[in-house]
Amino acid sequence: MSIFWILSAGLLGFAIAAVFAGLLRLPRNYYLLVYIPIVAAFFVLFIATNNINLIELLLHNWYWGLAGAVIAGAFVIKNVYSQPSSERRYGGEFIRDITWPGLAYGLIDALLLTVIPVLAVKIILTGPAWTENWFGRIGVGIFGLLASFFVTTLYHLGYPEFRGKQVIWPNVGNGVLSLAFILTGNPLAAILPHMAMHVAAMIHGPKTTGQVPPHYNESGAPD
Protein backbone atom coordinates (compact mmCIF):
# COMPACT_ATOMS: atom_id res chain seq x y z
CA MET A 1 0.00 0.00 0.00
CA SER A 2 2.85 2.41 0.78
CA ILE A 3 4.07 2.30 -2.82
CA PHE A 4 0.76 4.00 -3.59
CA TRP A 5 2.04 7.08 -1.77
CA ILE A 6 5.19 7.24 -3.89
CA LEU A 7 3.24 6.92 -7.13
CA SER A 8 0.60 9.38 -5.95
CA ALA A 9 3.16 11.95 -4.82
CA GLY A 10 4.82 11.92 -8.24
CA LEU A 11 1.57 12.08 -10.17
CA LEU A 12 0.11 14.77 -7.91
CA GLY A 13 3.17 16.97 -8.29
CA PHE A 14 3.21 16.47 -12.06
CA ALA A 15 -0.50 17.24 -12.41
CA ILE A 16 -0.36 20.46 -10.38
CA ALA A 17 2.71 21.75 -12.23
CA ALA A 18 1.44 20.71 -15.68
CA VAL A 19 -2.01 22.24 -15.26
CA PHE A 20 -1.44 25.36 -13.20
CA ALA A 21 2.04 26.29 -14.47
CA GLY A 22 2.31 24.56 -17.84
CA LEU A 23 -1.26 25.09 -19.06
CA LEU A 24 -2.69 28.02 -17.11
CA ARG A 25 0.67 29.77 -16.57
CA LEU A 26 -0.26 31.20 -13.20
CA PRO A 27 2.18 33.71 -11.69
CA ARG A 28 4.32 32.05 -9.04
CA ASN A 29 2.58 33.46 -5.95
CA TYR A 30 -0.87 32.52 -7.32
CA TYR A 31 0.38 29.11 -8.41
CA LEU A 32 1.49 28.47 -4.83
CA LEU A 33 -2.06 29.17 -3.61
CA VAL A 34 -2.93 25.88 -5.35
CA TYR A 35 0.25 23.89 -4.86
CA ILE A 36 0.93 24.51 -1.16
CA PRO A 37 -2.49 23.64 0.34
CA ILE A 38 -3.00 20.57 -1.87
CA VAL A 39 0.40 19.08 -1.04
CA ALA A 40 0.03 20.03 2.63
CA ALA A 41 -3.28 18.14 2.76
CA PHE A 42 -1.67 15.17 0.98
CA PHE A 43 1.14 15.12 3.56
CA VAL A 44 -1.29 15.26 6.49
CA LEU A 45 -3.24 12.37 4.95
CA PHE A 46 -0.01 10.40 4.50
CA ILE A 47 1.03 10.97 8.13
CA ALA A 48 -2.41 10.14 9.54
CA THR A 49 -3.00 7.06 7.38
CA ASN A 50 0.38 5.56 8.26
CA ASN A 51 0.18 6.46 11.97
CA ILE A 52 3.48 8.35 11.88
CA ASN A 53 4.37 10.21 15.08
CA LEU A 54 5.64 13.46 13.60
CA ILE A 55 7.10 14.77 16.87
CA GLU A 56 8.99 11.54 17.45
CA LEU A 57 10.25 11.62 13.88
CA LEU A 58 11.55 15.18 14.23
CA LEU A 59 13.24 14.47 17.56
CA HIS A 60 14.95 11.27 16.40
CA ASN A 61 18.67 12.03 15.91
CA TRP A 62 17.77 15.74 15.87
CA TYR A 63 21.40 16.74 16.48
CA TRP A 64 22.51 14.77 13.41
CA GLY A 65 19.59 16.24 11.51
CA LEU A 66 20.76 19.77 12.26
CA ALA A 67 24.35 18.89 11.39
CA GLY A 68 23.20 17.37 8.11
CA ALA A 69 21.08 20.45 7.42
CA VAL A 70 24.12 22.72 7.75
CA ILE A 71 26.23 20.63 5.36
CA ALA A 72 23.48 20.05 2.78
CA GLY A 73 22.34 23.66 3.11
CA ALA A 74 25.81 24.95 2.29
CA PHE A 75 25.79 22.89 -0.92
CA VAL A 76 22.39 24.02 -2.22
CA ILE A 77 22.84 27.67 -1.24
CA LYS A 78 26.19 27.73 -3.02
CA ASN A 79 24.41 26.39 -6.09
CA VAL A 80 21.84 29.21 -5.90
CA TYR A 81 24.56 31.85 -5.78
CA SER A 82 26.42 30.24 -8.68
CA GLN A 83 23.54 31.28 -10.95
CA PRO A 84 23.07 34.76 -12.44
CA SER A 85 21.47 37.26 -10.07
CA SER A 86 18.37 39.27 -10.86
CA GLU A 87 16.26 41.99 -9.30
CA ARG A 88 14.46 41.23 -6.06
CA ARG A 89 11.63 43.05 -4.34
CA TYR A 90 11.95 45.30 -1.29
CA GLY A 91 9.93 46.23 1.78
CA GLY A 92 6.69 44.38 2.40
CA GLU A 93 6.88 42.57 -0.93
CA PHE A 94 10.31 41.23 -0.01
CA ILE A 95 9.00 39.95 3.34
CA ARG A 96 6.16 38.25 1.48
CA ASP A 97 8.65 36.66 -0.91
CA ILE A 98 10.74 35.32 1.98
CA THR A 99 7.73 33.81 3.77
CA TRP A 100 5.63 32.53 0.84
CA PRO A 101 7.76 31.37 -2.13
CA GLY A 102 10.69 31.22 0.27
CA LEU A 103 9.91 29.41 3.52
CA ALA A 104 6.46 27.96 2.74
CA TYR A 105 7.32 26.78 -0.79
CA GLY A 106 10.61 25.28 0.41
CA LEU A 107 8.88 23.40 3.22
CA ILE A 108 6.19 21.91 0.99
CA ASP A 109 8.71 20.96 -1.70
CA ALA A 110 10.78 19.12 0.92
CA LEU A 111 7.75 17.20 2.17
CA LEU A 112 6.65 16.15 -1.32
CA LEU A 113 10.01 15.42 -2.92
CA THR A 114 11.92 13.93 0.01
CA VAL A 115 10.02 13.22 3.21
CA ILE A 116 7.05 11.33 1.75
CA PRO A 117 8.97 9.06 -0.65
CA VAL A 118 11.76 8.25 1.83
CA LEU A 119 9.32 7.49 4.65
CA ALA A 120 7.12 5.42 2.32
CA VAL A 121 10.09 3.22 1.44
CA LYS A 122 10.91 2.77 5.14
CA ILE A 123 7.33 1.70 5.75
CA ILE A 124 7.51 -0.83 2.91
CA LEU A 125 10.90 -2.30 3.89
CA THR A 126 10.42 -3.05 7.58
CA GLY A 127 11.37 -6.74 7.80
CA PRO A 128 14.47 -8.04 9.65
CA ALA A 129 16.36 -8.46 6.37
CA TRP A 130 16.15 -4.67 5.90
CA THR A 131 16.59 -3.43 9.46
CA GLU A 132 18.96 -5.79 11.27
CA ASN A 133 22.09 -5.60 9.10
CA TRP A 134 24.08 -2.95 7.24
CA PHE A 135 23.36 -4.37 3.81
CA GLY A 136 19.63 -4.14 4.43
CA ARG A 137 19.88 -0.59 5.76
CA ILE A 138 21.95 0.48 2.77
CA GLY A 139 19.30 -1.11 0.55
CA VAL A 140 16.56 0.89 2.27
CA GLY A 141 18.59 4.05 1.73
CA ILE A 142 19.14 3.30 -1.95
CA PHE A 143 15.45 2.60 -2.56
CA GLY A 144 14.53 5.73 -0.61
CA LEU A 145 16.82 7.80 -2.80
CA LEU A 146 15.38 6.22 -5.96
CA ALA A 147 11.85 6.95 -4.74
CA SER A 148 12.81 10.58 -4.18
CA PHE A 149 14.32 10.74 -7.69
CA PHE A 150 11.08 9.33 -9.10
CA VAL A 151 8.87 11.92 -7.41
CA THR A 152 11.29 14.77 -8.13
CA THR A 153 11.49 13.86 -11.81
CA LEU A 154 7.73 13.57 -12.32
CA TYR A 155 7.03 16.78 -10.44
CA HIS A 156 9.55 18.84 -12.39
CA LEU A 157 8.50 17.40 -15.74
CA GLY A 158 5.19 19.14 -15.13
CA TYR A 159 6.97 22.48 -15.61
CA PRO A 160 7.80 23.29 -19.27
CA GLU A 161 11.14 24.73 -18.16
CA PHE A 162 12.33 21.33 -16.89
CA ARG A 163 11.30 19.11 -19.77
CA GLY A 164 14.36 17.48 -21.27
CA LYS A 165 17.82 17.28 -19.78
CA GLN A 166 17.09 20.25 -17.47
CA VAL A 167 15.27 17.84 -15.18
CA ILE A 168 18.64 16.42 -14.13
CA TRP A 169 19.59 19.46 -12.05
CA PRO A 170 16.65 19.39 -9.60
CA ASN A 171 17.46 15.72 -9.00
CA VAL A 172 21.06 16.58 -8.17
CA GLY A 173 20.10 19.24 -5.65
CA ASN A 174 17.21 17.37 -4.08
CA GLY A 175 19.23 14.15 -4.16
CA VAL A 176 21.73 15.77 -1.79
CA LEU A 177 18.91 16.76 0.55
CA SER A 178 17.30 13.32 0.42
CA LEU A 179 20.66 11.71 1.12
CA ALA A 180 21.07 13.98 4.15
CA PHE A 181 17.72 12.73 5.50
CA ILE A 182 18.59 9.11 4.78
CA LEU A 183 22.02 9.28 6.43
CA THR A 184 20.91 11.18 9.55
CA GLY A 185 17.49 9.59 9.96
CA ASN A 186 16.00 13.02 10.63
CA PRO A 187 13.86 14.92 8.09
CA LEU A 188 15.17 18.29 9.29
CA ALA A 189 18.35 17.49 7.37
CA ALA A 190 16.30 17.87 4.18
CA ILE A 191 13.56 20.28 5.23
CA LEU A 192 15.69 23.12 6.63
CA PRO A 193 18.12 23.27 3.67
CA HIS A 194 15.24 23.19 1.19
CA MET A 195 13.65 26.16 2.94
CA ALA A 196 17.00 27.97 3.10
CA MET A 197 17.58 27.28 -0.61
CA HIS A 198 14.26 28.90 -1.54
CA VAL A 199 14.96 31.91 0.67
CA ALA A 200 18.40 32.27 -0.93
CA ALA A 201 16.76 32.14 -4.37
CA MET A 202 14.38 34.95 -3.46
CA ILE A 203 17.29 37.06 -2.16
CA HIS A 204 19.58 36.33 -5.11
CA GLY A 205 16.80 36.96 -7.62
CA PRO A 206 13.82 34.69 -8.38
CA LYS A 207 13.76 35.41 -12.12
CA THR A 208 17.13 33.76 -12.72
CA THR A 209 17.28 31.03 -10.06
CA GLY A 210 15.88 27.69 -11.11
CA GLN A 211 14.95 26.56 -7.59
CA VAL A 212 11.68 28.51 -7.52
CA PRO A 213 9.60 27.56 -10.59
CA PRO A 214 7.52 28.44 -12.48
CA HIS A 215 9.37 30.89 -14.72
CA TYR A 216 7.86 32.29 -17.90
CA ASN A 217 9.24 34.19 -20.87
CA GLU A 218 8.22 37.74 -21.63
CA SER A 219 4.98 36.62 -23.28
CA GLY A 220 3.92 34.62 -20.26
CA ALA A 221 2.65 35.52 -16.84
CA PRO A 222 4.91 37.61 -14.61
CA ASP A 223 6.62 36.27 -11.46
Whole-number pLDDT of residue 222:
42
**pLDDT cut 90: percent of the chain above it:** 90
- For 204, the 3-state DSSP assignment is helix
**pLDDT cut 70: percent of the chain above it:** 97
Average pLDDT across the chain, whole number: 94
The tens digit of pLDDT for each residue in 23-55 reads 999 999 999 999 999 999 999 999 999 999 999
Q: List all residues 6 or more positions away from 34 whose beta carbon is below 8 Å from its beta carbon.
A: 16, 20, 26
Question: How far is the C-alpha of 106 from the C-alpha of 110, rounded, in Å?
Answer: 6
The tens digit of pLDDT for each residue in 1-20 reads 679 999 999 999 999 999 99
Whole-number pLDDT of residue 81:
97
- For 147, the 3-state DSSP assignment is helix
Q: List all residues 6 or more positions away from 223 whose beta carbon is below 8 Å from its beta carbon.
A: 27, 28, 29, 206, 207, 215, 216
Domain ranges of the chain: 2-204
Count of other CB atoms within 10 angstroms of residue 223: 18
The tens digit of pLDDT for each residue in 101-115 reads 999 999 999 999 999
- Residue 43, amino acid: F
94 burial type by CB count under 10 A (0-12 exposed, 13-18 middle, 19+ buried)? middle
- Specify the range with the lowest mean pLDDT, choosing from 27-41, 129-143, 186-200: 129-143
- Specify the range with the lowest mean pLDDT, choosing from 39-48, 54-63, 130-139, 195-204: 130-139
Whole-number pLDDT of residue 1:
63
181 pLDDT exceeds 90?
yes
Whole-number pLDDT of residue 110:
98
User: 189: number of CA atoms within 13 Å, CB side?
Assistant: 25
Whole-number pLDDT of residue 127:
77
Whole-number pLDDT of residue 61:
95
Rounded mean pLDDT, 77-86: 97
86 pLDDT exceeds 70?
yes
Assign 154 a pLDDT band (cuts: 50, 70, 90): very high
Question: How far is the C-alpha of 70 from the C-alpha of 151, rounded, in Å?
Answer: 24
Whole-number pLDDT of residue 221:
43
